[in-house]
Structure formats: C-alpha cells, structure tokens
Structure 1
Amino acid sequence: MGLFSRISNIFKAKVNDTLDNVENPIQLLDQKIRDMEENLNKAKLSSAQILGNVHEIEKKMNISKKESADYDEKVKLALSKGNEELAKKALQRKLELDKKYESLKSSYNEAAAKAEHIKKNLRALEEEIEKTRHYRDEAAARFNNAEASKKVNEILANVQTKNNSISIDDIERKIQRKESLAEGLGELKDIDNLDKEFEALESVDLDLELEKYKNKQ
C-alpha cells in the first residue's frame, strides 16, 4: 500500500469517527456544503485567470493574422513594382508572422482545452453542490422526524414504565378494603340504631309511673 493510500485511509477513518461522534449530522452536511462552495469560488478565480489567458492569446493571434495579411499585400505590391528585394523582405516578415501565428494557435488550443476542462469540472462541482443541498434538506426532514419520533417513544416508554410500577391488583385491593371498611361502618351504625330502639322500648314513662303512684295514695 502506497503512502497516499495510507494517508487516504487514515483521513477516511477520522471522518468516520467524526460522523459517529457528531450528534447532529445535518451540521456536517452544512459544513460540507460550505467547504464545497469555498472550493468552487477558488476554482472560479483560477479559471478566470486561465480564461483571461485564452482571450489574450486569441487577441495576439488576430493581430498576427492581420499583420501577416498586410505583409502579403506588401509582397504583391513590391512584385508589381518590380522590387524583388523589397518583396523578399516583406515575405520574410510575413513568414515570421505566420510562424508566430501557428505558435500562438498551438498555445491557444492548449489553453482553450484546459479552460474547457476546468469549466466542465466547475459545472460538475456546481451540480454536486446542488445535489448535496437537496440531500441536506431531505436529510434534515428525516432527521427531525426521527428526533420527534424518538422523543414520542421515550415519553411513551416512560409512561409505560410508570404504569408498570403501579399494579392494578394493588389498586383493586385498596378499593375493596375501603369498600369493606365502609360496609363495616354501616353495619355498626345499624346496630347502634337497633340498640337505641330497644332502649326506647325499655325506658320508663315517668308520667305513667306518677299516675300509678297517685292512685296508690
């Protein structure tokens, strides 16, 4: 395994550890999007320089092409006047400009291809950022739903645990004891009332006894 492969594996392991330790994974997604946007901005600045070079080379190509065309006319003019020496000088200058143009064209093609490759990568990165944003929104909704479900389940589990700690049978026994006590007290009250009725029957009628006493005299 090469050095870069080992470094890559170590980095992936650290990222996985971070994912496991972060309570809210949406924060990681937000950071990922920020990092991608920062890289996109840096890439755009670099590509702007390359595109600027492409346009600069293109301008030089056009100038060389125009100057070459001008010297071509001068060659023709010198020949028409019978001045071959001047025609040779003009032709030499034209050939130099043509060579310069070809060199610039080669540089232009290379720079243009590089610029196109960079623009393609920029578009791919922009698409990746957009996909990550969509996934972030979807993941946030799923995460929030999971958190809400977790809280509900925790509440229900807590209620269930409390309910399990209270025995219905114990409650029923307590109610029955209360009912029995109430019935017992009611029976005692009835007994007291019955005793009072008998006491009333056995009580002495003083008026009657007084009349009896008078009659004896």
Structure 2
Amino acid sequence: MGIFRRVKTIAMAEVNGLLDGIEDPIAMLNEYSREMEQEIAKGQKALARQIFVENKQAALISETQALEDKRTRQAKLAIEKGEEGMAKLAVQEKLTLEKQAALYQEQYEAVKTQTKILVEKLDQLKETYNQMQQKKILLASRANVAQSMKQIQKATVSFQTDTIARGVARAEERILLMEAEVQAGSQFAAPLAQFDTAYDNFINDEELNNEIEKLKNEKVTI
C-alpha cells in the first residue's frame, strides 16, 4: 500500500511540475478575473431575488395593516349600530390581522437584515475584484518586463566570445590587406619615378654640340 502511495505522489509531483512549467501568469490572472466576474453576477442575481422578497414582504405588511384598519372601522360601526355579533367578528378578525402584521413585520426585519448582509458581501466582492484588476495591470506590466529581460539575457548569452574574436580577427586581416595593397602600389610607382628622373637628366647630342660651339666662339682669358 505504501509503495502505491509513493508512486502516486511521484506521478502527481511530475504532473504538477509540468503544469507549473506551462502556466502562463497573465492567462491565470485573466481566468481568476472571469471567475470573480461570475461570482459577482451570481451575487447580483441573489441580491435581486432578495430585494424582490423584501419588497413583497413590505407590500404584504401594508395590505395586512390596511385590512386591519378596515376591520377596526367595521367594528366601530357595528358597535355604534348595536350589532354586537358583527362587532365581535370584526374585532376577532382585526386581532388576527394584528398578529399577522406583527409576524410579517418580524419576517420583514429578518429579510432586511439578510439583504444588508448580502449587499455588504457583494460590495466586498466588487472591491476585491477592483483591487485584483489593478493588481493584474501591475503584474501584467511586471510580467512583460520580466519576459523582455529574459529574452535580452537569452540573446546576450547566445553570443559566443569565440565568434566575436573571429570576427575581429577577420576585420583586422582585411585592414592589413588594404594597407599591404597601398604599400605595394607605392613600391610599384617608385621605379617609374626614378626612370622619369633619369630621363629628364639625360643630355642628347644636340645639346652637347651646341655647348661645344659656344665654347669655341668664346675667347680664352689668361
């Protein structure tokens, strides 16, 4: 017997664990709100019935008192006319109506007390519902913030240092390659510049012959 109880406990624990994992706090709050709204609706219907009973009881008291007043007038009229038998019947019915009215009044007071209690309970239920709605808004905001932070943390954790390091290394290699290309271009342009300079310094035959003729025409001064 103990083994089966332990197996049941373990199974229930696992089921509860799974349920805890899939519970959505916002959905839970919405469900609690719907249940509270249903309770309020039931309370309002019960209050409506209670008010109906109270009004009906009040009307019954009024009718009984009106009938009692009528029998009182009939009894007085019978006494004035000397109709003793009629007067006794009227008085007897008047006394019965008085007792009924007193009983109805007592019942009415009990109904009013029940109505008051029901109104107070319904007001408390509505107040609790309003507080829960305000708290639900706050909790929903907190849940959204927590979910956002959780997603941010998950995204942050997903970044791997090795991946970032490899990216930086690739960027560095690219920059080094660009610098090497610039340097190689500079080295290639240097011989051309030197050739151009040597060419510019080269003296042709025409310049040489002109300079010799110029010197021949000049007199040598000792």
Q: Does TM-score exceed 0.5, indicating one fold?
A: yes
Flag structure 1 segments of 5+ consecutive residues without an equivalent.
1-12, 194-217
Deviation for aligned residue 1:177: 8.7
1:108-123 pair list within 5 angstroms: 108-123=108-123
- The amino acid that maps onto 1:85 is G
Deviation for aligned residue 1:153: 2.3
Stretch deviating more after TM superposition (68-77 or 57-66) = 68-77
Residue 11 (structure 2) pairs with residue 32 (structure 1): no
Stretch deviating more after TM superposition (126-135 or 76-85) = 76-85
- The amino acid that maps onto 1:82 is G
Q: Which residue of 2 aligns with 1:72?
A: 72
Stretch deviating more after TM superposition (91-100 or 16-25) = 16-25
Aligned residues with identical type, % of pairs: 23
Q: Which residue of 1 aligns with 2:216?
A: none
Q: TM-score if structure 1 supplies the norm length?
A: 0.66
- Over 3 Å counting, the alpha-carbon distance change for 1:140 and 1:161 in structure 2 is farther
Deviation for aligned residue 1:172: 9.6
Q: TM-score if structure 2 supplies the norm length?
A: 0.65
1-structure distance, mates of 2:18, 2:171: 54
Deviation for aligned residue 1:85: 2.7
- Over 3 Å counting, the alpha-carbon distance change for 1:161 and 1:37 in structure 2 is farther
- Over 3 Å counting, the alpha-carbon distance change for 1:19 and 1:78 in structure 2 is farther
Q: Which residue of 1 aligns with 2:51?
A: 51
Deviation for aligned residue 1:161: 4.2
Deviation for aligned residue 1:164: 5.8
Q: Which residue of 2 aligns with 1:133?
A: 133
Q: Which residue of 1 aligns with 2:42?
A: 42
CA RMSD of aligned residues (A): 3.8
- The amino acid that maps onto 2:42 is K
- Over 3 Å counting, the alpha-carbon distance change for 1:64 and 1:149 in structure 2 is same
Deviation for aligned residue 1:104: 1.0
Residue 94 (structure 2) pairs with residue 94 (structure 1): yes
Deviation for aligned residue 1:84: 2.9
2-structure distance, mates of 1:109, 1:18: 54
Stretch deviating more after TM superposition (127-136 or 154-163) = 154-163
- The amino acid that maps onto 2:54 is V
Q: Which residue of 1 aligns with 2:107?
A: 107
Flag structure 2 segments of 5+ consecutive residues without an equivalent.
1-12, 193-222
- The amino acid that maps onto 2:146 is A
Aligned residue-pair number: 182
Deviation for aligned residue 1:68: 0.7
- The amino acid that maps onto 2:32 is K
Deviations 1:92-140 (A, max 9, x none): 1100001111111121111121122111111111111111111111111
Stretch deviating more after TM superposition (84-93 or 61-70) = 84-93
- Secondary structure, aligned partner of 2:159: helix
